[in-house]
Amino acid sequence: MIPMRLSSCCFITNSPIILRPSRTSAPRTLNLPLDRRRHISAYGYTQAKALVYPKHGSPTDVLNLHTHSLSPPHSNLVTLRTLAAPLNPADINQIQGTYPTAPPFSQELGTAQPSAVPGNEACFEVLSAGSACKSVSKGDWVIPRQTGLGTWRTHLQVTEDRVMKIDKDGLNAEQAATISVNPVTAYRMLKDFTPLKEGDWFIQNGANSGVGRAAVQFGKMWDLKSICVVRKREGAESEALHKELQELGATVVVNDEEIMEKGFGERVKEWTNGGREPLNLALNCVGGDAGMALAKTLGAGGTMVTYGAMSKSPLRVGAGMLIFKDLRFTGFWVSKWADRFPEERKKTIDEVLGLIRDGKFKDVPMVEVPWSYETKKEELLDAVQGTLEGFRKGKGMFKFGDT
């Protein structure tokens, strides 16, 4: 009897059935490195996961982990694999609906309801690029060109004009992922609002934040002196933080209770050589009475730049500060600045990356949050919730492994 072909893996004959595995049935990804096997299907589709939210609210209430597929890129599309993505307070505010901008709600990812992906900063690796792409290619590292890209996901696909290529030599993914917001904010505030020369002073609160640490380091590089205010801690923890900031370059470190004391102005006079050394710039991310305590230390014609409002309290400016001291109060939002000055943004980022490569600029302390294909939603949400808690050991950082 002539055997009858049933499939590529077995035949039916009068003899006992013998199963023979097909030589072509092995998955095409077996020869790929471990970190590439899972996310590429046999048809070239990329399997992705993303944290999404269908409405504003508390992160633990509204965030879900959504699985979807990305088709091969065409034209000017690029498929990206996320290497690292930080968890910033602004990201949480966007989820809560209290931030001025937010990523759009859509069903592009196949969610049951229109949803948004949180996250504004990240470092990505280009997995593949469409035939019309000219600025990036496979293997390049890129960062978002603007905020609102939605970075808390394992993979994404965007047009090439939404990302900016960086030189990855001498960098790790975490450094690249955190370059575009905090260091740039600190750099521009020290450069753009009032002329500062060697030996001048500035004062800042939130000094152990990402922006604060960056400002301390830039100040040291540019021979500026700084008064750095941090929240009060007890015992050895307080001593360790003060020492850490001083090693970064802070001239004086005080806590937020000290700056509210009646005699604090006299202490500032002592530090600034009887007031003869100018203190004309204050960087404020707290607001409220704590912010005004900074303003009181400024010399005539000084400027206070507000870039955050952690206390959620308004600044109450006394008329005397405006009339007799001629103080200036202004704000800075790095996202808006970057939209207006994209080339200047790129120059600033490139300069800071150069400082990192040269070992002149240190990373902010980070708490790594591993994210692999098997990571559960609850593990990710715990990390997001931790961003809302005080006295954290470092910035939360999604670190992507085998996704």
HSE on the CB side for 392, CA within 13 Å?
24
In Å, how far are 209, 250, 291, 307, 371 from 329, measured between CA atoms?
22, 24, 11, 11, 42
Q: Which of helix, strand or coil describes residue 10? A: strand
- Of the residues 99, 187, 307, 373, only one is catalytic, namely 99
Phi, psi of 10 (to 5 degrees): -155, 160
Q: Which of helix, strand or coil describes residue 351? A: helix
**Spatial distance between the Cα atoms of 225 and 246, rounded to a whole number of angstroms:** 11
Q: Do 95 and 53 touch, CB atoms closer than 8 A?
A: yes
Strand partners, 144: 163
Q: Which of helix, strand or coil describes residue 368? A: strand
**Spatial distance between the Cα atoms of 361 and 214, rounded to a whole number of angstroms:** 8
Q: Residue 115 carries which DSSP code?
A: B
Strand partners, 124: 82, 142
- Helix (H), strand (E) at residue 77: strand 77-86
**Spatial distance between the Cα atoms of 379 and 79, rounded to a whole number of angstroms:** 26
Active site annotation includes 307: no
Q: Residue 161 carries which DSSP code?
A: G
Tally helices (H) and strands (E) across the chain: 13, 17
> What tokens appear for 72 in the block?
């091969």
| Contacts of 148 by beta carbon, 8 Å cutoff, 6+ apart | 101, 102, 103, 104, 120
Q: Among 338, 322, 339, 340, which residue's Cα sits nearest to residue 330? A: 322
Question: Which active-site residues does the annotation give?
Answer: 99
